[in-house]
């Protein structure tokens, strides 16, 4: 074989090797290479995209004591409570603590802590962290969101895995706030924070299942915590949050399948979302305390319970549910009790009575008004017993809350059926809330934000006046409708509830209070407030559904959303995460190298032939 031929063969082989190498090496890694750290079936894999609600941009601020951490719920993936408590039904799971017990007539709460738990930096968790967390809230009252130190006397450790909470007086409902809502921080880190109130906490270290790995203005990435204490958890390798500049952009991302877990309000969700992929797109709304009409109990004629009953009977809640609430928020029972809690807490007498006061019955409403001396003029307007027209009123809800805006429009028309003149007003939220606090209103549609694992929390937040009714013009923190909670012993029963840990006694007290609310109707329940929650299970599964409603599904619910996050798993083969250079770039590089090799070979041939007598 001639030397020239050998050179040509060598060149061809070299070029083929180069092209095959680039085609295999670079194409393979960009498409289906496995990440060694996640290739095991026991290792976390997959990425879930979360969208609790729209955010224009993110900052690296993750202080677990702050109520303004965004995106909502993210702190639940870094920090954990002593117990996980489902606020809808009260299901309680041992978490950083394994058990608890009440002692000394409910003046002491003892908890046993879980052993072999580490923070995400590898430091051990023990009772000193729990005591420190609560003492920090005592030292800095701004951190004490739930006013725990108004009822706590002290918090002490009894060895590394036992903590005792001592109370000034019995307050058993505070268990939910102490055990279920307080996130425990590591003493070793937070004892060195000069001002924990303003501290942004850009590098969160907790016992939770995820750690922070990336923060930009439009993306936050979390990765599985290698020190997490629950064996085999989390199943997911990553969780990512993206920012969206508007509700429209966020809604579109969900509708186009770009999000796995969301907590958005979208009108006509069935056609805009579910219908696009019924096998994988879904939603399931749990319900919190009802959306209610706060009727000012200090303004005549709304200060009369029979008048409020007539108003309640004139409302077609089914129409509001279907037209104002797009079929999402079902008709409420009444007495502002959560529909999910009523069957377990109320007796049949109260359940039946609640149905009676929320039925749609205009005829009965008019009969009640007539019985109390009201009449109607020739125009159908309601006339008081003294012969004067019942004053014109306003009904308000925040501007831009489209479903509630639609609700109050319907309600205004329905109040006209009993002769009331009620005009719709939709101020900005800050104005409305100021009017609600100060009592400067007739009727406001609103939802009590204080709710918890049993009816006590909603009853306290909506009806307890602190021993006196706040006068109009002064700001109230609860009891916005100005109900006199001493009526028929309501406040007494509320207090008695807080002093016992006996569930049967508590149920009797709840029924006592409910019967008082049925009789007095301080607020008018309209529909059950939905807990917005949607999923896309194409690649991520394990979400709560109507057939497996194991936990509250909202991705913004702190700290309960962690339980759902730990149920989620990927159904796809894990692909290495990368920021890849487009594959064609590698082919170009390969071609360039091949050309260089060929050119070098040609030069070699020319030189060789010259040595052997020139070109032929």
Q: Within a 10 A sphere around the Cβ of 501, how many other Cβ atoms?
A: 16
Phi and psi angles of residue 220, each rounded to the nearest 5 degrees, phi first: -125, 130
Query: What pLDDT digit, counting tens, does each position of 70-127 carry?
Result: 999 999 999 999 999 999 999 999 999 999 999 999 999 999 999 999 999 999 999 9
Tokens of 335: 């007495």
- Among residues 96, 76, 398, which one has the least CA distance to residue 263? 76
Q: What is the DSSP secondary structure assignment for residue 389, as one 8-state letter?
A: B
Average pLDDT over residues 487-500: 96
Cα gap 306→308, rounded to integer Å: 5
What's the pLDDT score for residue 347? 98
Q: What are all long-range contacts of 459-464, with beta carbons under 8 Å and residues at least 24 apart?
A: 459/336, 459/494, 459/510, 459/513, 459/517, 460/173, 460/494, 461/289, 462/289, 462/292, 462/336, 462/522, 462/523, 463/336, 463/490, 463/494, 463/517, 463/522, 464/491, 464/494
**Model confidence at 3, in pLDDT bands (50, 70, 90)?**
very low
What's the pLDDT score for residue 582? 41
Q: Measured at the alpha carbon of residue 345, what is the angle toward residues 314 and 179, in degrees to the nearest 5? A: 120
Class of domain 289-530: alpha beta
Full 3-state SS string of 51-115: ECCCCCCCCCCCCCCCCCCCCCCHHHHCCCCCEEECCCCCCEEECCEEEEEEECCCCEEEEEECC
What's the pLDDT score for residue 466? 83
Are the C-beta atoms of 313 and 364 separated by less than 8 Å? yes
Q: Which residues pair with 108 in a beta bridge?
A: 103, 166
> If you search the block for the tokens 């290698």, which residue do you land on?
226
Average pLDDT over residues 168-195: 98
Residues in the chain, total: 616
What's the pLDDT score for residue 595? 55
Cα gap 162→114, rounded to integer Å: 9
Cα gap 479→176, rounded to integer Å: 21
**Mean of all residue pLDDT scores within the chain:** 89
162, burial (CB in 10 Å: exposed 0-12, middle 13-18, buried 19+): middle
| C-alpha dist (Å) from residue 53 to 243, 392, 399, 403 | 9, 38, 18, 17
How far does CA 62 lie from the centroid of its chain?
16
* Helix (H) / strand (E) containing 529: strand 523-531
SS3 521: coil
Whether the predicted pLDDT of 33 surpasses 80: no
What's the pLDDT score for residue 74? 96
What's the pLDDT score for residue 586? 42
> If you search the block for the tokens 């796809």, which residue do you land on?
572
Q: Which residues pair with 291 in a beta bridge?
A: 447, 527
- Preceding peptide of 214 cis, ω within 30°: no
Q: What is the DSSP secondary structure assignment for residue 177, as one 8-state letter?
A: I
What's the pLDDT score for residue 591? 54
The β-bridge relationship of strands 534-536 and 382-383 is unpaired
Share of the chain above pLDDT 90, in %: 80
Cα gap 597→593, rounded to integer Å: 6
Average pLDDT over residues 509-519: 98
Cα gap 315→309, rounded to integer Å: 10
Whether the predicted pLDDT of 423 surpasses 80: yes
Share of the chain above pLDDT 70, in %: 86
| C-alpha dist (Å) from residue 74 to 79, 108, 260, 561, 568 | 9, 32, 15, 9, 15
What's the pLDDT score for residue 600? 52
**Model confidence at 257, in pLDDT bands (50, 70, 90)?**
very high
Q: What is the DSSP secondary structure assignment for residue 321, as one 8-state letter?
A: I
Cα gap 296→320, rounded to integer Å: 22
What's the pLDDT score for residue 54? 86
> If you search the block for the tokens 């000069």, which residue do you land on?
194
Are the C-beta atoms of 325 and 285 separated by less than 8 Å? no
What's the pLDDT score for residue 115? 98
Query: What pLDDT digit, counting tens, does each position of 430-463 carry?
Result: 999 999 999 999 999 999 878 899 999 999 999 9
Q: In what order do the strands lie in the sheet with 108-113?
A: 97-103, 108-113, 162-167, 152-157
Whether the predicted pLDDT of 521 surpasses 50: yes
Cα gap 435→472, rounded to integer Å: 10
CATH number corresponding to 47-248+533-570: 3.40.190.10
Query: What pLDDT digit, counting tens, does each position of 562-607 carry?
Result: 999 999 999 975 443 333 334 444 444 455 555 544 555 444 544 4
Query: What pLDDT digit, counting tens, does each position of 189-242 carry?
Result: 999 999 999 999 999 999 999 999 999 999 999 999 999 999 999 999 999 999
What's the pLDDT score for residue 131? 99
Q: Which residues pair with 239 in a beta bridge?
A: 48, 222
């Amino acid at each position: 074989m001639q030397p020239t031929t050998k050179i040509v063969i060598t060149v061809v082989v070299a070029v083929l090797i180069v092209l095959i190498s680039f085609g295999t090496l670079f194409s393979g890694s960009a498409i289906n290479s496995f990440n060694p750290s996640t290739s095991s079936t026991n290792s976390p894999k997959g990425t879930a995209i979360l969208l609790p609600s729209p955010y224009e941009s993110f900052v690296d601020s993750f202080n677990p004591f702050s109520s303004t951490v965004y995106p909502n719920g993210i702190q639940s993936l870094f920090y954990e409570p002593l117990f996980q408590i489902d606020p809808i039904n009260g299901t309680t799971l041992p978490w950083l603590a394994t058990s608890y017990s009440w002692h000394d007539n409910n003046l002491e709460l003892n908890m046993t802590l879980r052993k072999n738990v580490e923070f995400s930096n590898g430091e051990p968790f023990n009772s000193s962290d729990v005591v420190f967390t609560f003492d920090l809230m005592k030292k800095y009252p701004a951190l004490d969101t739930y006013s725990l130190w108004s009822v706590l006397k002290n918090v002490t450790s009894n060895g590394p895995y036992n903590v005792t909470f001592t109370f000034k007086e019995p307050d058993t409902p505070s268990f939910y706030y102490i055990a279920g809502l307080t996130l425990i921080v590591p003493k070793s880190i937070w004892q060195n924070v000069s001002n924990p109130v303003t501290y942004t906490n850009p590098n969160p270290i907790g016992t939770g299942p995820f750690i922070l790995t990336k923060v930009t203005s439009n993306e936050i990435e979390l990765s599985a915590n290698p020190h997490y204490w629950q064996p085999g958890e989390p199943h997911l390798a990553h969780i990512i949050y993206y920012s969206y500049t508007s509700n429209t952009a966020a809604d579109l991302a969900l509708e186009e399948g770009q999000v796995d877990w969301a907590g958005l309000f979208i009108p006509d969700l069935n056609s805009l979302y579910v219908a696009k992929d019924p096998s994988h797109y879904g939603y399931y709304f749990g319900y919190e305390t009802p959306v209610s009409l706060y009727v000012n109990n200090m303004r005549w004629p709304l200060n009369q319970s029979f008048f409020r009953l007539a108003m309640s009977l004139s409302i077609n809640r089914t129409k509001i549910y279907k037209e104002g609430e797009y079929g999402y928020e079902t008709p409420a029972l009444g007495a502002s009790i959560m529909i999910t809690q009523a069957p377990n807490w109320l007796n049949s007498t109260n359940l039946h009575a609640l149905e009676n006061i929320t039925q749609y019955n205009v005829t009965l409403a008019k009969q009640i008004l007539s019985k109390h001396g009201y009449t109607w003029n020739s125009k159908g307007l309601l006339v008081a017993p003294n012969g004067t027209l019942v004053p014109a009123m306003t009904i308000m809800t925040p501007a831009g809350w489209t479903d509630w805006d639609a609700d109050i429009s319907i309600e205004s028309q329905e109040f006209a059926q009993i002769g009331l003149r009620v005009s719709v007003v939709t101020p900005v939220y800050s104005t409305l809330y100021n009017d609600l606090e100060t009592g400067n209103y007739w009727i406001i549609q609103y939802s009590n934000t204080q709710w918890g694992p049993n009816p006590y929390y909603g009853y306290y937040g909506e009806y307890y006046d602190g021993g006196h009714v706040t006068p109009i013009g002064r700001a109230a923190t609860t009891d916005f409708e100005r109900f006199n909670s001493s009526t028929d012993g309501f406040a007494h029963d509320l207090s008695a509830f807080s002093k016992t840990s006996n569930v049967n006694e508590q149920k009797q007290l709840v029924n006592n209070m409910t019967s008082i609310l049925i009789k007095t109707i301080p607020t008018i329940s309209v529909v059950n407030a939905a807990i917005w929650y949607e999923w896309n299970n194409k690649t991520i599964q394990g979400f709560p559904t109507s057939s497996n409603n194991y936990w509250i599904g909202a991705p913004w619910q702190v700290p309960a959303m962690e339980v759902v996050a730990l149920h989620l798993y990927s159904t796809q083969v894990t692909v290495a995460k990368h920021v890849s250079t487009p594959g064609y770039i590698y082919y170009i590089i390969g071609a360039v190298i091949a050309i260089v090799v060929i050119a070098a070979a040609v030069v070699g041939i020319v030189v060789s032939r010259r040595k052997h007598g020139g070109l032929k």
